[in-house]
Structure formats: C-alpha cells, structure tokens
C-alpha cells in the first residue's frame, strides 16, 4: 500500500513521500491552470455538511432508545439536552484541532499528528475495511426503504426492490461526488433545508397542540419511580450516537474558506440548531403520543403524522428518504478526503491522492468504497458489522481529543487560533472512554470481535507500510497497475 518512487521528480506534500509516477499533462481547460482541491466550503456549506450528516433517519424513525433507558419523558428530554451539550464539547475540541492542524482528514490526521503513524493507520484500516462501507450501506438501505414506501403502501416493500433502490442511491451519490465539489455542496444545502423543513412539519403542529393545552403526557414527567438510574448510561450512549457527525467538517479543512473563522462558527451554529431540533421534535412527539405509544411505534414520525396530518402523512417517508440521502452525500464527501490525505501520507495507494484533471475532485478516493459497500449490501451482515465496530468510533474520537490535551504539553508553541479550556477536552475524552467501557460491559462478545477486527491493522501496517522489500516483479506490477488506473480515471497529483 505504500507508494514507490518511479520518477526522478517529485515534491513532498504535507508529509507525503517524495516521487510521483509520471502523469499525463494537465488538461488545458483546468481552471486557473492548477489542479488541486479548491476552497469551496463556505460557512453555509460547512453548516449544511454538519447538520446534513448528523440528522439522518434516526430522529424520524426511532428516538425511543433514550426513552426506554431513561424511564420517563422528562428524563429523556434531559438526556437529549445533555448529549447535545457533550457533543458541543467534542465539537469545540475538534474546532481547536481543525484550526491548529489545517490538514483535512479528521480523526486520522489528529491521531497521526499526536501519536504517530501506527495508531493512525489502525484507525484508517478499521474505517476502510468495515466501518465506512457498513455505515454507508446501512443509511443507504434506509433511503431505499423510505423512498419506495409510498409506492407500496399499505403493503411492505419487497427486499429486492429495497436493495435495487439502495444501489441506485449509492451509485448516484458516488457519481455526484466524483463530478463536482460545487454541486455536491449545493445538493447538500438543499437536502439540509429539506431535513429542517421535515422537522418543522413535526415541531410546529406539536407545539401548537402543546400551547393549546395538550399537556397530559407531560404530567409526572419526572416521577422518581419511573427513572432508571442503571439505564441512564445506555440512554446517553443512544443520545451521543444520534448526535454523531459533528466532526465531518474537520475531514475537509483544506477546502474550507478561512478555516480559522469558518470551522468554529459552523460547528457552534450547527450544534445549536441540531440540539434545538432534537429537543423540540421530541417535545412534539410527546405532546401527541404517550410514552407507551412512542415505544410501540416502528417509525415515530410516520405515526405522529398519521395522528396530526391524515393523508398528508404520505410525504413523511419521502422526507426521511431525502434526509438519508443527505447523510449519504455529506458522509461520502467527508470521508473520501480522509482516504485522500492518508494516501498523501503514504498509507494508501498513491492514486487515491490524485485529482481529476478537469473536475478537480479526488475521484479515486471517492470511488474506493464503492465495491466494498455494494459487496456488503448484497452479501454481508451489515448490522452485525456495525455492532462490532460502533464502539471503535468513540474509542478513536476519545484518542483524538486526548491528543489535543497531549499536544498542549508536547507542542505548546503550536498556533492555536481557537482554543478551548482544558476542562472541556478532559470531560469529553472521559465521556468517550466511558462509552467504550460501557460497550465492553454490556456487549462483550460483539465489542471483542470488533476490537479483534481493528487489531488486524497492526500486521497490515507492518506488511504494507513498514516492510518494503518487495520482489521487483511485484513492484513493477503494482506500478503498472497504478499508472493504468491513473490513465483510466484521468487523475494527476495535486499541485500545492
């Protein structure tokens, strides 16, 4: 997986190894005569990336995990607010990391800077072989389910139809991200507004009924006998999962206009909007539905719409599908940049750090997940894989935030345009490691399997990165394959 120098020329890029393959000449139509990722992520686009990836299908389908484990309506709302505040803490930590380390790549880049290449590669390996393909496949399956539901109601949607619609959705997202960064961001802004409109359709009638006096479901909301203290950690786990996605703007830092200002501002605006939306949406649900009805509903937003809007409720599955599509689009845009940066650092094949000569998109880095995602969609047990790997998200985020604390002492002179009080990363990293411990305690088998999968990154690191004494025939074959892919995709090394 390491790159090999086959040309006599080459410049070092942000820590990458020197030497690139001889590339085709740049297209005459390339804008500004320079092939690179452009700074096209404005404040509005940054906000749309964060909101558009945080708000997926969960708030519309099943917000009952928090209610189930907290034991009461009032305590569940407290957990939603607390998880929003904790997520804001994490987002502020990433705002500091993103403004002091201005490379794209998110978790991978921060772990690389703080703790070195081996730990960063293990994170990258887990993402590449399992977490990202499975996560993309799951949210895509929700898209396929809900985009077809109005066509098949009241009957269920056939499984094969869901997978075909899912395949079309994944392919279209890959195509969009491959063709244009500008259009990817424009579509993301549109889809984010669709999500907020869908949430407004729930919040407005719910609050209207609340102000008219529909408060019976809030009576005894904090009744002590209903509160389950032993379940609160699991409620927080569900809540933090619902807010996950606040870190995606950090994956594209190099493409953000004025990142020192835009990154912190986009993060704060987004977290305020998402927390408000989540809390008010749950208030609306509880105004119309009792706790028992919320727990019994397979899709809370659909049940809510049936009770308040009648036949208009048919539009809710469409909004849920658009919400899922926004998460697919924003997620792919973000983590393709992680693969791009990892390739530039020498941890993935060099073709993944190359840019299309006309489109100015990291085409190979976008497409690298496509075969694995489609394979898992039709063959793999995606949900089990997500169960195996979910705790790793919090482990590595906790490690990245711990790296912030570590670098405060080892690199005190590092420029920090945005700096948070040290208590914030301390609280947040403790929260992350507590959730990892909770996973080990509540589901030791699946967590252990996920941990074992991630540990395969250690031998992979030594085989692909450290050990470079390959036979000449093998290295020549790899170089030839790399050049072929480069020519087919029309990509060349980015200029800096």
**Distance (Å, whole) CA 434 – CA 363:** 38
Task: Indicate whether 93 pLDDT > 90.
Answer: yes
Query: Bridge partners of 234?
Result: none
Cis check for the bond before 154: say yes or no (omega within 30 of 0). Answer: yes
Q: Taking a C-beta distance cutoff of 8 angstroms, is the pair 166, 141 a contact?
A: yes
- Predicted confidence at residue 495, as pLDDT, reads 67
**Distance (Å, whole) CA 67 – CA 80:** 10
- Predicted confidence at residue 230, as pLDDT, reads 66
Task: Indicate whether 67 pLDDT > 70.
Answer: yes
Query: Bridge partners of 356?
Result: 491
Task: Indicate whether 384 pLDDT > 90.
Answer: no
Q: What is residue 103's three-state secondary structure?
A: coil
Residues whose CB is less than 8 angstroms from the CB of residue 41 and which lie 6 or more positions away in sequence, other chains included: 49, 185, 249, 252, 255, 256, 257, 262
Per-residue tokens: 385: 């894989």
Per-residue tokens: 85: 């505040």
Q: Taking a C-beta distance cutoff of 8 angstroms, is the pair 110, 119 a contact?
A: no
Task: Indicate whether 81 pLDDT > 90.
Answer: yes
- Predicted confidence at residue 407, as pLDDT, reads 93
Task: Indicate whether 483 pLDDT > 70.
Answer: yes
For 494, how many CA atoms within 13 A lie in the half-sphere containing its CB?
26
- Predicted confidence at residue 180, as pLDDT, reads 86
Residue identified by tokens 């189930």 is 68
- Predicted confidence at residue 15, as pLDDT, reads 39
Specify the pTM. 0.84
- Predicted confidence at residue 478, as pLDDT, reads 77
What are the respective helix, strand and coil percentages of the chain, to the nearest 5?
75, 0, 25
Q: What percent of the chain has pLDDT over 70?
A: 88
- Of the listed ranges 222-226, 232-236, 292-296, 383-387, the least confidently predicted one is 222-226
Return mean pLDDT, the chain.
83
**424-461 confidence digits (pLDDT tens):** 999 999 999 988 888 787 778 878 888 888 899 999 99
More reliable by pLDDT, 465 or 385: 465
- Of the listed ranges 52-61, 115-124, 197-206, the least confidently predicted one is 52-61
Q: What is residue 344's three-state secondary structure?
A: helix
Tell me what the mean pLDDT of segment 391-400 comes to.
Answer: 88
Per-residue tokens: 63: 């917000």
- Predicted confidence at residue 376, as pLDDT, reads 84
- Predicted confidence at residue 33, as pLDDT, reads 53
Residues whose CB is less than 8 angstroms from the CB of residue 417 and which lie 6 or more positions away in sequence, other chains included: 99, 100, 260
Q: Taking a C-beta distance cutoff of 8 angstroms, is the pair 370, 284 a contact?
A: no
Residue identified by tokens 């279209």 is 172
- Predicted confidence at residue 75, as pLDDT, reads 86
Task: Indicate whether 3 pLDDT > 70.
Answer: no
Query: Bridge partners of 491?
Result: 356
**Is the domain 34-468 a CATH 1.20.120.160 member?**
no
**342-372 confidence digits (pLDDT tens):** 999 989 888 888 888 888 888 889 999 899 8
- Predicted confidence at residue 11, as pLDDT, reads 36
* Residue spans per domain, the chain: 34-468
Tell me what the mean pLDDT of segment 250-264 comes to.
Answer: 89
| Alpha helices in 153-216, H assignment, sequence order | 159-179, 181-211
Task: Indicate whether 244 pLDDT > 80.
Answer: yes
**20-51 confidence digits (pLDDT tens):** 333 334 333 344 456 667 777 889 999 999 99
**5-23 confidence digits (pLDDT tens):** 333 333 333 434 333 333 3
Burial (CB count within 10 angstroms: exposed 0-12, middle 13-18, buried 19+), residue 405 = middle
Helix (H) or strand (E) holding 56: none
**273-328 confidence digits (pLDDT tens):** 999 999 999 999 999 888 888 888 878 888 888 888 877 778 888 888 999 999 99
What is the 8-class DSSP label of residue 496? -
Confidence band, pLDDT 50/70/90 cuts, at residue 391: confident
Tell me what the mean pLDDT of segment 409-416 comes to.
Answer: 90
């Amino acid at each position: 997986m390491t790159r090999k120098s086959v040309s006599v020329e080459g410049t070092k890029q942000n820590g990458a190894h020197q030497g690139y393959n001889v590339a085709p000449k740049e297209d005459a139509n390339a804008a500004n005569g320079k092939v690179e990722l452009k700074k096209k992520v404005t404040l509005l686009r940054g906000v749309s990336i964060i909101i558009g990836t945080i708000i997926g299908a969960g708030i519309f389908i099943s917000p009952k995990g928090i209610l189930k484990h907290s034991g009461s309506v009032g305590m569940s709302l407290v957990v939603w607010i607390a998880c929003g505040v904790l997520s804001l803490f994490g987002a502020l930590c990433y705002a500091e990391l993103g403004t002091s380390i201005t490379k794209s790549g998110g978790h991978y880049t921060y772990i690389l800077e703080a703790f070195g290449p081996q730990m960063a590669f293990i994170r990258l390996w887990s993402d590449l072989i399992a977490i990202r393909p499975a996560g993309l496949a799951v949210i895509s399956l929700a898209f396929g389910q809900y985009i077809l539901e109005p066509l098949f109601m009241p009957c269920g949607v056939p499984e094969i139809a869901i997978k075909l619609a899912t395949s079309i959705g994944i392919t279209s997202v890959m195509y969009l991200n491959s063709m244009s960064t500008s259009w990817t961001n424009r579509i993301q802004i549109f889809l984010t507004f669709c999500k907020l409109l869908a949430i407004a359709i729930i919040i407005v009638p719910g609050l209207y009924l609340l102000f008219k006096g529909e408060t019976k479901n809030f009576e005894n909301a904090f009744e002590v006998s209903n509160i389950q203290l032993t379940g609160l950690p699991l409620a927080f786990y569900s809540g933090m999962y619902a807010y996950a996605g606040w870190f995606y703007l950090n994956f594209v830092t190099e493409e953000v206009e004025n990142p020192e200002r835009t990154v912190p501002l986009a993060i704060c605006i987004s977290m305020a909007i998402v927390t408000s939306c989540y809390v008010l949406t749950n208030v609306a649900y509880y105004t119309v539905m009792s706790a028992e009805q919320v727990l019994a509903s397979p899709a809370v937003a659909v049940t809510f719409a049936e009770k308040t809007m009648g036949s208009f409720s048919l539009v809710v599955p469409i909004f849920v599908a658009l919400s899922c599509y926004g998460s697919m689009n924003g997620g792919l845009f973000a983590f393709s940049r992680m693969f791009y940066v990892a390739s530039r650092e020498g941890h993935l094949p060099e073709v993944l750090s190359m840019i299309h000569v006309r489109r100015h998109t990291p085409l190979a880095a976008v497409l690298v997940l496509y075969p694995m995602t489609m394979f898992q969609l039709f063959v793999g047990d995606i949900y089990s894989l997500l169960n195996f790997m979910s705790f790793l998200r919090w482990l590595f985020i906790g490690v990245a935030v711990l790296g912030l604390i570590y670098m405060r002492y080892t690199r005190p002179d590092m420029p920090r345009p945005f700096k948070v009080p040290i208590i914030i990363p301390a609280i947040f990293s403790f929260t992350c490691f507590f959730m990892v411990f909770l996973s080990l305690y509540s589901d030791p088998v699946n967590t252990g399997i996920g941990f074992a999968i991630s540990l395969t990154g250690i031998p992979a690191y030594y085989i692909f990165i450290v050990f470079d004494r390959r036979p000449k025939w093998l290295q020549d074959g790899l170089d030839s394959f790399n050049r072929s892919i480069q020519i087919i995709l029309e990509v060349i090394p980015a200029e800096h």
